[in-house]
């Protein structure tokens, strides 16, 4: 990787801060609520396997590549009060990589006899391994002590917490990620007596909600939103609307943009807030298997340097007892 590419990635990250936080983002998060809220574990009341791969800023050298594999379900019991989940994630941006593994526990309180209206509390615990490949860097001073000459790695533990409420027709959730980020300096590498900062993690907050409207016997509509806040950059908002056709095909669009909900004096006043327009389609190949694809068209200044983002997903539900739309 040349120095020009590194500079371009750094400038890109600075511009992207106008509309996005550090944590991983997926356009198809609606099919895997566990990625944004640990209290989602067990929602489908059947073991659910999901995998998603995202390639962002295609055609740009060193562009981010992100993947996630997860499984969640409920413990065998009459009321299915306990949900469990396991999630593995990786993220690669140029010479920098992160690999995370989280376990999730959710306590699901039924609010009616049918058990399809619940208030859930979830906790996630895990760790992330951050690494930097010094051999991929090119620099002017061969003796620069701040740049490692080989791979360096550091494992950082963390926790996450969430609340999730759902009925057959709507849902809402709130969660906080990176709970330990304010108390650790573990994302700094020390090399030859110098601190080399790679990822300075900060706490992230998520608020999400959605509904399902049956427009006819063959068509249903699901509007939803996801609000992301890190208290540092502009608030990020995803607005989504998708349609379910004959219980077989989901098709929808999304709009990702930034908001200035309150004054953050440290931010530049001319930051671009608009981010991307997304398109999504998912097909139920069988009653239990879903295959999905999403494309994000960039709307900010990066549009002339890359060709958007592609994302594919695969989900499989084992022995599902009822339809779960969220």
Within a domain: residue 113? yes
Is 146 in contact with 129 (CB distance < 8 Å)? no
Structure tokens belonging to residue 139: 């620099």
214 vs 258, residue with greater confidence: 214
Look at residue 325 and tell me if it is in a domain.
no
Number of compact structural domains in the chain: 1
Average pLDDT in the chain: 82
Residue 110 and residue 103 in contact, taking contact as beta carbons nearer than 8 Å: no
Residue 51 lies in a domain: yes
Q: Could you list the residue range(s) of the whole structural domain that residue 295 is in?
A: 3-318
Is 280 among the domain residues? yes
Which are the contacts of 114, defined by CB distance < 8 A and separation ≥ 6?
Answer: none
Look at residue 305 and tell me if it is in a domain. yes
In a domain, 58, yes or no: yes
**Alpha helices (runs of H) in the chain, residue ranges in sequence order:** 3-16
Spatial CA neighbour of 43 closest among 70, 77, 83, 71: 83
What percentage of residues in the chain have a pLDDT greater than 70? 78
pLDDT at 226 over 60: yes
pTM: 0.84
Question: CA 209, CA 240: separation in Å to the nearest integer?
Answer: 10
Residue 323 lies inside a defined structural domain of this protein: no
CATH of the domain at 262: 2.40.160.40
In this predicted structure, the answer to whether residue 130 has a pLDDT above a threshold of 90 is no
């Amino acid at each position: 990787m040349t120095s020009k590419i590194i500079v371009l990635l750094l400038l890109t990250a600075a511009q992207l801060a106008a509309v996005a936080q550090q944590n991983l983002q997926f356009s198809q998060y609606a099919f895997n609520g566990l990625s944004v809220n640990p209290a989602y574990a067990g929602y489908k009341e059947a073991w659910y396997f999901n995998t998603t791969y995202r390639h962002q800023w295609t055609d740009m050298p060193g562009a981010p590549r992100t993947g996630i594999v997860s499984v969640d379900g409920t413990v065998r019991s009459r009321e299915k009060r306990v949900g469990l989940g396991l999630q593995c994630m990786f993220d690669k941006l140029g010479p920098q990589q992160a690999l995370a593994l989280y376990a999730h526990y959710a306590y699901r309180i039924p609010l009616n006899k049918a058990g399809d209206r619940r208030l859930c509390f979830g906790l996630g615990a895990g760790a992330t391994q951050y690494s930097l490949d010094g051999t991929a860097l090119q620099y002017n001073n061969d003796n620069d002590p701040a740049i490692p000459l080989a791979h360096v790695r550091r494992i950082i533990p963390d926790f996450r917490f969430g609340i999730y409420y759902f009925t057959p027709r709507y849902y809402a959730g709130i969660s906080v990620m990176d709970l330990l980020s304010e108390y650790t300096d573990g994302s700094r590498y020390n090399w030859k007596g110098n601190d080399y900062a790679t990822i300075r993690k900060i706490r992230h907050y998520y608020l999400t909600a959605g509904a399902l409207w049956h427009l006819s016997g063959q068509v249903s509509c699901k509007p939803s939103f996801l609000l992301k806040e890190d208290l540092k950059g502009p608030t990020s908002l995803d607005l989504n609307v998708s349609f379910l056709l004959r219980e077989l095909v989901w098709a929808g669009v999304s709009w990702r943009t930034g908001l200035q909900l309150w004054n953050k004096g440290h931010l530049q006043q001319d930051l671009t807030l608009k981010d991307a327009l997304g398109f999504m389609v998912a097909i139920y190949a069988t009653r239990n298997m879903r295959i999905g694809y999403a494309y994000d068209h960039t709307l900010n200044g990066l549009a002339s340097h890359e060709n958007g983002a592609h994302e594919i997903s695969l989900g499989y539900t084992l022995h599902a007892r009822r339809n779960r739309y969220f």
